[in-house]
């Protein structure tokens, strides 16, 4: 895989996580430890796995979990925490970004990845910076993620048909290393991510499309439900397991 494609995959992971976080807090992205989602590319060549696991780093607080995004040759970790107001990110760790290798973005203070509640036309931007070395030169990489909820749709995947899915448009920029990508993510109620599309801006590459093929969702405690009036309503329910 060439450097451009590696960088593109890193952008996909970043975009997916930001969008995913748009629902991590409730049923649009159930974040119980042990939840897993298995994906396959439209051409059946590539695979992706997303899972939620325990974090051994607490960042001075409680409730931090790791969202792990694994592709064929890359792994990305996002240290997240759900709150009644939003989902925040403390750290993102990318194993492979073209030219620079492993990159860590720390968020101090933690940033909001998803406001609560969400509704159609909701927009938000997440920014972060980190220093890296390329040969003997130290540079600052700034990551900028723009997200917008544009529709509620029904989606068919190999894992089944899902109704009332959030459709989220994404635009990701990694400054200083000349990377830009656009994508679309669909989140299903009570399930999470079910379909994703991403393509580097200005490249001749075909869009990469992933469909959900298998998932395992644990019982969740915090729920966000969507209504046909195009509003997202928060239902905070403490469920005894």
The domains of the chain, with CATH numbers, are 3-236 (2.40.360)
* Residue ranges, the chain, pLDDT below 70: 1-27, 98-100, 115, 117-118, 176-177, 219-241
Which tokens is 194 given?
């079910």
* Cβ contact 210:39 at 8 Å: yes
Note the pLDDT of residue 66: 94
Note the pLDDT of residue 115: 67
* Cβ contact 55:64 at 8 Å: yes
CA torsion through residues 174, 175, 177, 182, sign:
positive
First-residue to last-residue Cα distance in the chain = 45
Note the pLDDT of residue 231: 38
- H-type helices in 80-124, by residue range? none
**H-run or E-run covering 208:** strand 208-216
Token pair 């159609």 is at which residue?
120
Note the pLDDT of residue 219: 66
193: closest CA among 215, 169, 226?
215
Strands 123-134 and 101-115: unpaired
Note the pLDDT of residue 209: 96
- H-type helices in the chain, by residue range? 3-24
170-189: b (≥16 Cβ within 10 Å) or e: bbbbbeebebbbbbbbbbbb
Note the pLDDT of residue 119: 73
* Cβ contact 167:160 at 8 Å: no
69: closest CA among 57, 84, 53, 56?
53
């Amino acid at each position: 895989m060439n450097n451009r494609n590696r960088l593109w995959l890193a952008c996909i992971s970043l975009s997916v996580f930001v969008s995913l976080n748009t629902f991590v807090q409730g049923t649009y992205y159930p974040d119980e430890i042990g939840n897993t989602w298995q994906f396959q590319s439209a051409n059946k060549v590539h695979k992706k796995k997303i899972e939620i696991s325990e974090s051994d780093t607490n960042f001075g607080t409680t409730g931090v979990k790791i969202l792990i995004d694994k592709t064929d040759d890359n792994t990305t970790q996002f240290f997240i925490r759900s709150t009644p107001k939003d989902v925040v990110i403390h750290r993102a760790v990318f194993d492979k970004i073209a030219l620079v290798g492993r990159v860590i973005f720390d968020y101090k203070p933690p940033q909001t990845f998803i406001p609560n509640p969400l509704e159609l036309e909701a927009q938000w931007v997440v920014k972060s910076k980190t220093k890296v070395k390329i040969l003997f030169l130290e540079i600052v990489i700034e990551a900028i993620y723009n997200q917008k909820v544009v529709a509620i749709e029904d989606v068919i995947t190999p894992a089944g048909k899902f109704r009332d899915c959030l459709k989220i448009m994404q635009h990701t920029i990694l400054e200083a290393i000349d990377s830009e990508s656009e994508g679309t993510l669909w989140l299903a109620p009570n399930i999470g991510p079910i379909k994703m599309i991403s393509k580097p801006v200005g490249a001749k590459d075909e869009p990469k499309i992933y469909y959900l093929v298998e998932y395992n969702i644990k019982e969740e405690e915090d729920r966000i439900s969507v209504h046909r009036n195009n509003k997202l309503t928060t239902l905070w329910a403490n469920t005894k397991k």
